[in-house]
Amino acid sequence: MKLFKASNGEEIFIIDAHIALWDGSKENQLNIHGEQFISCFYDYHKNLSPKEYWWPKDEFVKYSPEKLVNDVFMEGYVDMAIFQPVFLKEFYKNGFGNFDANEELSKKYPNRFICNGTFDPRHGERGLEKLEENKEKYNWQGVKLYTADWYGNSKGYKLSDDWSKRYLEKCQELGIRNIHIHKGPTITPLNRDAFDVADVDDAASCFPELNFIVEHVGLPRLEDFCWIATQEKNVYAGLAVAIALIHDRPRYFAHIISELLYWLDEDRIIFGSDYAIWEPKWIIEKFLEFELPEDIQEETGVTFDLEVKKKILAGNAARLYNIDIEKQKEKLKNCQLSKWIA
Amino acid sequence: MDKEKQVYSMLEKVYDPELDQPLTELGFIDQVLVKDNHVKVVFRLPTYWCSPNFAYIMAEDIRKYVSEIEWVKTVQVHLLDHCASDEINHGASAGKSFREVFHNVSDGDLEELRKTFDIKAYYARQEKLMKYLLKMGMSKEHITSLSLQELNELSLPEDGKLLREKYLEKKKVFHHSSTFAITTPEGKPLTEEEFSDYLKGAKLTRLSMEFNAHYCRGLLEARYNLSAAYEGSLAK
């Protein structure tokens, strides 16, 4: 297993807060939407990954748990990873993500994974009961919400909907404290801005005990996201997608990270690779090497040094998930993966 | 000018509302087919999931601008490979409103949305011009007190002229009554104290739009296997 050593010799502990094990295979696809969904992911993958990290498409649509372990932990410098599953039951027979498959891997490699869950507020009372059952069964500390998911005739929901609030209330009651939200398009009413993040504002002020991690930093509405995050202190920036720009568009990444540090500060930015769209290995290598160009740094006056990077790579997520990094390192010493140090 | 070229020159006026760039430059126009006085414009987007409302705005604008050519009798708009292709193609070609086509999932037309994006584009274009003027050595005080006439009369190098032109073009949409050159989208002049915060906010909007544009171009390239060179030639 590879560890990342900073230039001062320090081993950097890394939590990848956004990974997935999915099945987008032909056999699992229900319709053309399923095929298009995974194809779209593949375009993201090819668009921003360095060429030497491009996967063949047939491997990308469905990969083995062993490949995940290899790419994330053995090669990818990651010490702990958080599963963020989505249903997509209208596109895939058995769903795109699978709680049990995640759980199985987590049992095989203790202390390496945090398995988050998901819910869909459009499932009504039945879903609320299921959420309770799932908390009991999987002990979820967080959920990933995909507000653009389809359900029957509905092409998405908002966190400010009455039912969403009932589910968030339930999360608060059950101690599911970390709400990761991916904002995607096609949310009704369709005549409005489909990427509007204002509902996060509403939910965050209604539920101050919950943490709202906005994945992909609210892109493509960075400005609205930053505005909300300055108002609501329980709103966090999930770096997945934005961080992948570091290879192909380094100046854009510099602008984004510099703005986030300026508007949010260094304690509310959280690293995620979005594996398997992108492999953590190249992202982490480039991120730790990265320095803000002088002109960009001067505009905001922010600091982006090793201490800040360590918070983004582990410290902030550790706080949200009650992980004591030093104790965790001890626990992981005897993990079978640690013994295969390359 | 041959008919196809005339159509392309009208398509240069059709902008992606979210990215504030012309479809022709983004590589979104797949082809233009002209038969006698009938035109078919085939276009494509970076993903199957691009929001149908943005797609509809583009489809409506394609139809609107191409229809302005005097010899054109009908315009058929055809969006490829999209989750709402059928509704959009049928609706926009028939000149139906968005509300009529998507009555189940919308509660109005796209005017508010267009306005939202006009405001974003206004901030983005304005921020670029303001930064340019600052770089030229103009003071904050001077910029906030500048009149429209003075802005128009400023002697600027080519790149500066272009920024001014783009900004003023967007400013027109708002019908401001004030004679100040640099105002909020609502037409209110800026005080010197507000200047820096206003600029910081406008910068975020500009960055967000530019990020989207880079991302969308890259996705289109990946989706249709376009090399950068090929994409460039499409823009011509």
Intervals of chain A under pLDDT 50: 342
- The closest CB to that of B204, out of A39, A44, A222, belongs to A222
* For testing contact with chain A, the best of B120, B208, B221 (most A CBs within 10 A): B208
How much is the pLDDT for A132?
A: 97
B228 band by pLDDT with thresholds 50, 70 and 90: low
| Segment holding A163, helix H or strand E | helix A162-174
How much is the pLDDT for A8?
A: 82
pLDDT digits (tens, 9 = 90+) for B164-173: 999 999 999 9
CA distance A245 to chain B (A): 9
CA distance B38 to chain A (A): 30
How much is the pLDDT for A341?
A: 59
B233 band by pLDDT with thresholds 50, 70 and 90: very low
Give the span between the Cα atoms of A333 and A253, in whole angstroms. 34
Please give the full DSSP string across B28-66, using - where no structure is assigned. -EEEEEEETTEEEEEE--S-TTS-HHHHHHHHHHHHHHH
3-class DSSP state of B16: strand
Is the pLDDT at B13 greater than 60? The verdict is yes
How much is the pLDDT for A239?
A: 96
Summary mean pLDDT of chain A: 94
pLDDT digits (tens, 9 = 90+) for B74-96: 999 999 999 999 999 999 999 99
CB contact under 8 A, B50 and A185: yes
Q: Which of A125-129, A147-151, B216-220, B227-231 is the least confident region?
A: B227-231
CA distance B199 to chain A (A): 11
How much is the pLDDT for B235?
A: 40
Is the pLDDT at B232 greater than 90? The verdict is no
How much is the pLDDT for A186?
A: 55
What average pLDDT score do residues B209-213 get? Answer: 92
* For testing contact with chain B, the best of A191, A217, A258 (most B CBs within 10 A): A191
- The closest CB to that of B218, out of A48, A155, A222, belongs to A48
In the sheet that holds B29-35, the strands lie side by side as B29-35, B38-43, B74-79
How much is the pLDDT for A175?
A: 97
**A163 — contact with chain B (CB < 8 Å)?**
no
- From chain A residues 252-311, the ones with a CB under 8 A of any chain B CB are 252, 255-256, 259, 263
Summary mean pLDDT of chain B: 93
- Which residues neighbour A232 within 8 Å (Cβ) at sequence distance 6 or greater? A201, A204, A205, A212
Question: What is this structure's pTM?
Answer: 0.93
Is the pLDDT at B230 greater than 70? The verdict is no
CB contact under 8 A, A191 and B98: yes
* For testing contact with chain B, the best of A43, A154, A157 (most B CBs within 10 A): A43
**What ipTM does the predicted assembly reach?**
0.89
Question: Which chain A residues touch B49 with a CB distance below 8 Å?
Answer: 36-37, 40, 148, 184-186
How much is the pLDDT for B229?
A: 45
Give the span between the Cα atoms of B83 and B89, in whole angstroms. 11
Q: Considering only alpha carbons, which residue of chain A is nearest residue B203?
A: A223
The one-letter amino acid at A63? Y
What average pLDDT score do residues B127-133 get? Answer: 98
Is the pLDDT at B195 greater than 70? The verdict is yes
**B71 — contact with chain A (CB < 8 Å)?**
no
How much is the pLDDT for A189?
A: 74
What average pLDDT score do residues B205-231 get? Answer: 85
